[in-house]
Amino acid sequence: MEDTICAISTSLGVGAISIIRVSGQEALDIVNKIFKGKDLTKVKSHTINYGYIYDGEKNIDEVLVSVMLAPKTYTKEDVVEINCHGGISTTNKVLELLLENGARLAEPGEFTKRAFLNGRIDLTQAESVDALLKSKSDSAREVALNGVSGSLGKKIKNLRSILVELLANIEVNIDFPEYEDALEITHSNLKPRLTEVLETLKDLLATARNGKIISEGLNVAIVGRPNVGKSSILNSLLEEEKAIVTDIAGTTRDIIEGSATLNGILINFIDTAGIRETEDVVEKIGVDKSIAAIDSADLVILVLNNNEELTDEDKELLEKIKKYENIIFINKTDLERKLLFNKDDFTIVDGNTKEISGLDNLKKEIINKFNLEKIETKDMTYLSNVRQIDLTKKALKAVEHALANLDELIPVDMLAIDIKQAWDLLGEIIGENYQDALLDELFTNFCLGK
């Protein structure tokens, strides 16, 4: 935290402008050493200053330099941003000069880490910054932005203040049992407050699946025997000739992915190799990948051929996909019906890719399965990653335990242990207490320069 750090904050490539960001106590002094124009240590905060970057006597680039003095900056430290001409060569040269003059190259996410460590944002906000940079759909962006503003953090802080109030009251009762005026914490008035916390935690967990769907989208695997039309379906859904289609069984050998949005949610469609017993080494690897795709998908679309009787392989697949979210797409309805099977327990969509029929229904079923029509993206507060969900589940358990003990009239001082634990766990979500290893892991996934 003592070091002054720098990094290229824009993506490196050919572009009109690149921004190199510098943060830390010596940010101004270091940039000043290579800048010709005004004396940057004397300019007002939050100003943009015109000048040149020099390497000794050599002019490197014409630049605009933003000077932002602590504490009203991204990191709460002095921040200087150099806007230079884009392009790898100039940008790298400016970065090199900063490094030569005393700055250190920032680690990925280190600017945001400093914003967190300096108390400008909580950990949920930091995670949302990362989600915002990586968002691939409008809804993902909206929810991430909501998180950046701190909505989840606020909710968690509210719960913690209820818990801490309960703890304080319990303490008073333990320390001054004879003190009549101390608010008597009885089992009956602990219960409503704890129940309120319980319900909020349950709500957060109930909507967490939506949070994940919005931020990460859905993986939808298209599987089935060879030649049933999986790749044709992928192409029709994407309205693009993404996968090769032929009448040769075993055309698709590898996973082919393409994405589309449904109701603003990113859907990643995964076309797979036709599943069958095979001696062909390459095809066999493809088949293994298809099976793995089923395992990791949020939804499996099993394709059957309307024009053929159900085979043993179809039966096996029908059995296999039962334990996953699934839709059966009966393809080739333009041909004579020969397929017969017991459709109970399955969601069935009929269609064909020759006349492009049934694909809208297929999309509708995907929307239904995940309630995509009802997913709110505006002003909604979601737990949006495994870390947050895991800690919330543990906090919920602690509160449930406290409530169960309450019903058994266990002394209130015993309840304090569970309440304190819930308070600690919720603190971990916002980063009130954290381990260095966790921070390292979290921020190394960030983009460089953020």
18, 146, 219, 352: which one binds ligand GTP (CB under 6 A)? 352
Residue among 375, 378, 385, 396 nearest 126 (CA): 385
Interface region with ligand GTP, contact rule CB under 6 A, candidates 58-66, 69-77, 103-111, 250-258 = 250-258
**Is the Cβ of residue 92 or residue 251 nearer to ligand GTP in the bound state?**
251
Minimum CB separation from Mg ion for residue 294, in Å? 15
Assess contact for 428 and 390: CB atoms under 8 A. no
Interaction of residue 112 with ligand GTP, rule CB under 6 A: no
**Is the Cβ of residue 280 or residue 373 nearer to Mg ion in the bound state?**
280
90 binds, among ligand GTP, Mg ion, none (CB under 5 to 8 A by kind): none
Interaction of residue 282 with ligand GTP, rule CB under 6 A: no
Minimum CB separation from ligand GTP for residue 258, in Å? 13
Minimum CB separation from Mg ion for residue 247, in Å? 11
Alpha carbons within 13 angstroms on the beta-carbon side of residue 307 total 11
Give the CA distances from residue 352 to residues 130, 272, 329, in Å, rounded to whole numbers and listed in that order.
41, 18, 9
8, 245, 299, 415: which one binds ligand GTP (CB under 6 A)? 245
Q: How many CB atoms lie within 10 A of CB 357?
A: 15
151 binds, among ligand GTP, Mg ion, none (CB under 5 to 8 A by kind): none
Interaction of residue 286 with ligand GTP, rule CB under 6 A: no
Give the CA distances from residue 132 to residues 137, 213, 215, 394, in Å, rounded to whole numbers and listed in that order.
10, 14, 9, 27
Q: Which residue has the tokens 């929810």?
A: 143
**Is the Cβ of residue 245 or residue 293 nearer to ligand GTP in the bound state?**
245
Q: Which two tokens stand for residue 415?
A: 């309840």
17, 164, 168, 335: which one binds ligand GTP (CB under 6 A)? 335
- Tell whether omega for the bond before 71 is within 30 degrees of 0, i.e. cis: yes
Give the CA distances from residue 187 to residues 177, 184, 310, in Å, rounded to whole numbers and listed in that order.
15, 9, 63
Minimum CB separation from ligand GTP for residue 236, in Å? 8
Q: Which amino acid is at 40?
A: L
Give the span between the Cα atoms of 251 and 272, in whole angstroms: 10
Per-residue contact track with ligand GTP, 262 to 281, x per CB under 6 A?
A: -----------xx-------
Burial (CB count within 10 angstroms: exposed 0-12, middle 13-18, buried 19+), residue 383: buried
Helices 187-206 and 151-175 pack at an angle, to 10 degrees, of: 160
Interaction of residue 358 with ligand GTP, rule CB under 6 A: no
Q: Which residues contact 292 (CB under 8 A, 6 or more apart)?
A: none
Site for ligand GTP in 190-229 (CB under 6 A): 226-229
Interaction of residue 250 with ligand GTP, rule CB under 6 A: yes
Give the span between the Cα atoms of 385 and 171, in whole angstroms: 35
Site for Mg ion in 181-240 (CB under 5 A): 230-231
| CB closest to ligand GTP, residue no | 274
**Is the Cβ of residue 196 or residue 241 nearer to ligand GTP in the bound state?**
241
Minimum CB separation from ligand GTP for residue 369, in Å? 22
| Residues engaged in binding ligand GTP (CB under 6 A) | 226-232, 245-247, 249-252, 273-274, 331-332, 334-335, 352-354
Site residues (vs Mg ion, CB under 5 A)? 230-231, 251-252
